[in-house]
Amino acid sequence: MNTVAAEHMRGDGRLLSVVHGDITEEAVDAIVNAANEHLAHGGGVAGAIVRKGGRQIQEESDRWVREHGVVRTGTAAVTGAGRLRARHVIHAVGPVWGVGNEEALLADAVTSALSLATDGGMRTISLPAISTGIFGFPKPLGAQVIVKAVQQYLDGHPDSSLREVRFCNIDRQTTDLFVAELGRVRATA
């Protein structure tokens, strides 16, 4: 069962939440998948999403790549969510650590996901720690970059449909890093 570890209500009435649990259990408009450029959902968060949501997520992803080409690092694509509680899956491609310009590319991937959610009129979204698993991005820096990118996006898009952004991670260490980042946001609010 997913539990809220920390919350921060922004001055604009939008809620930031840190959730400890399984992103495939999130009942939101969209969950974000930490994807690769080919949207081949084999392991990690991506594999869990397809196992739980069903093969149609991979089939829609394959179709998206055939029609549009690979999803470049720092961008995102959206598909349905199959049997998941969420309505959509936004596949954000973060950088592999060591490619160069990793912080900017990770921030771009987050911004792209939030833009797709806004374009779709979505109100709630849940993000994992993109790139911090098999892509090797250091977890503390990843949490910092992701939270900052969300804040900057919301600050720059006051008319966005998004009302709640959730940072959902299954491991306690990563959850704690996001709790600490949210604490820094609250301290400067």
Which domains are present in the chain?
3-188 (3.40.220.10)
In the predicted structure, residue 162 carries a pLDDT above the cut 90: yes
- What strands, in cross-sheet order, belong to the sheet with 164-169? 3-9, 15-20, 164-169, 124-127, 30-35, 88-93, 76-80
Residue 25 DSSP class: G
pLDDT per residue as tens digits for the range 56-69: 999 999 999 999 99
Residue 123 has pLDDT above 90, yes or no: yes
Q: What is the pLDDT of residue 188?
A: 87
Looking at the predicted structure, is the pLDDT value of residue 186 above 90? no
- Is residue 44 scored above 90 in pLDDT? no
Q: What percent of the chain has pLDDT over 70?
A: 100
